[in-house]
Amino acid sequence: MTRLAALALAVLALAACTPRDRNTWHPAPPGGESPARVQRPNEAAPRRTAVVFAPVAIGALAEAWPDASEKFTYDLADRIDVLGAKADADGLAATGLPVSDDAAWRAWPVEGTSGADLIVLTVVQSIERKDAPAAAQGGRPITCTTIIEMRALDAYGNVVFAKRGRGDWTGVPSPKFPGPEAKPESKTAWEACSNAVGALLEFLEKRNEAVAAGPAPTAEQLVDVEIASDPIGADVLVDGIFRGNTPCTLKLPVKRQAIRIERSGHAPWERVMVPDAGMKIRPALEKK
């Protein structure tokens, strides 16, 4: 058995032993701490970063496996929990939050996210399956590819991580494993999710290394940006997330991000920029 295969089996075994209630997210009450973050017996200290997974939007996978959303949501949280020691990350599943592709995520804050450090949205974007003609002997060969998108939002609703994952499978399904989790669509969807969450762990590890090398980022590193428009009442989206209507003042991190201002009947205004203190954005929207 290869070292990689042994590691995969170990991860699955550990995840299977993780009590579900241990990895279930509960939002923090006003002025308090999430019950999911309370130190447990035999635990040195809770990990610093609470990584909360919203229900996976499984898209076309629902035809093959209707219950995959909850299963995948907990499995992704388990993967963070088992492999996230270096990233100092605690994986938690929040099946009570809106599904990852729900329109509720275009506004911020979203109820139920209080106390989370990162909220992860996972969407199955496409599943392509091709069935070859049946062979003279044996079953019908199948080729399947799944693409998913994973995004992580910080406590202010900003997109801090985005990754597409891909899963591929070619072969003949075994009649010995007839369950929905053994279908090609399910296998490739999980592989795509697993690849993306691996990239998320790498992102968290590198972020921790950067913090260790210098001062930790704080809320003071956010800057006030005044946003207005002519006419007023336009939607303001930051990295695709709705943040309010003009005129408004937003607290934004000092990093590259896409700011879009749009209003019905007018051409949208969009720029990629790095905000700085005192910045004022006041575009005149042209009528279509």
Last residue of a domain, one of 165, 192, 213: 213
Please report whether residue 2 resides in a domain.
no
Is residue 200 domain-shared with residue 260, that is, in the same domain?
no
Does 224 share its domain with 201?
no
Contact 160, 234 (CB under 8 A): no
Residue 11 has pLDDT above 50, yes or no: no
Judge whether 3 lies within some domain.
no
Q: Which of 256, 259, 254, 246 is nearest to 224 (CA)?
A: 254
Are 96 and 114 spatial neighbours (Cβ–Cβ below 8 Å)? no
Which pair of structure tokens corresponds to residue 169? 């499978």
Sign of CA dihedral 194, 200, 202, 205: negative
Work out how many domains the chain is built from and give that number: 2
Looking at residue 53, its pLDDT comes to: 98
Residue 6 belongs to some domain of the structure:
no
Q: Which residue has the higher pLDDT, 17 or 240?
A: 240
Say whether both 93 and 208 belong to one domain. Answer: yes
Same domain, 208 and 224: no
pLDDT at 18 over 80: no
CA dihedral 134, 182, 148, 169 (to 10 degrees): -40
76, 124 Cβ separation under 8 angstroms: no
Rounding to the nearest 10 degrees, give the CA dihedral for residues 149, 154, 160, 162: 0
Q: Rg for the chain (alpha carbons), in Å?
A: 22
Summarised one tens digit per residue, pLDDT across range 99-112 is 999 989 988 889 99
* 248 and 175 housed in the same domain: no
pLDDT higher than threshold 50 for residue 255: yes
The confidence band for 15, taking pLDDT boundaries of 50, 70 and 90, is very low
Task: Note the pLDDT tens digit of each residue in 53-99.
Answer: 999 999 999 998 999 999 999 999 999 988 988 888 999 999 999 99
pLDDT at position 127, please?
Answer: 96
Beta-carbon count within 10 A of 64 CB: 18
Is there a single domain that holds both residue 123 and residue 239? no
Measured CA to CA, the distance from residue 9 to residue 59 in angstroms comes to: 28
Both 164 and 276 in a single domain? Answer: no
Compute the distance between CA of residue 185 and CA of residue 131 in angstroms, rounded to an integer.
12
In this structure, of 19-28, 147-156, 210-219, the range with the lowest mean pLDDT score is 210-219
Q: Which residue has the higher pLDDT, 221 or 44?
A: 221
Range of the domain at 239: 219-281
Structure tokens at 181: 């989790």
Q: Which two tokens stand for residue 8?
A: 């995969």
Q: 207 vs 259, which has greater pLDDT?
A: 259
**Model pLDDT, residue 95:** 93
Which is more confident, 221 or 171? Answer: 171
Give pLDDT tens digits for 205-234: 988 776 666 555 455 578 999 999 999 999
Summarize the confidence of residues 195-205 as an average pLDDT: 93
Which two three-digit tokens encode residue 202?
């790498």
My answer on whether 62 and 183 are in the same domain is yes
206, 233: one domain: no
Indicate whether 235 and 138 sit together in one domain. Answer: no
At 193 the pLDDT is 97
CA distance linking residue 20 with residue 35, whole number of Å: 14
Residue 5 has pLDDT above 50, yes or no: no
Where is the domain boundary, 213, 245, 272?
213
Specify whether the CB–CB gap between 274 and 242 falls below 8 A.
no
Q: Residue 9: pLDDT above 60?
A: no
What is the predicted pLDDT for the residue at 213? 60
In the numeric block, the tokens 């969450």 are attached to 197
Residue 14 belongs to some domain of the structure: no
pLDDT score, position 36: 79
Non-local CB neighbours of 119 within 8 Å, separated by 6+ positions: 52, 54, 94, 97, 110, 113, 152, 153
Residue 137's pLDDT is 62
Mean pLDDT of the chain, nearest integer:
85
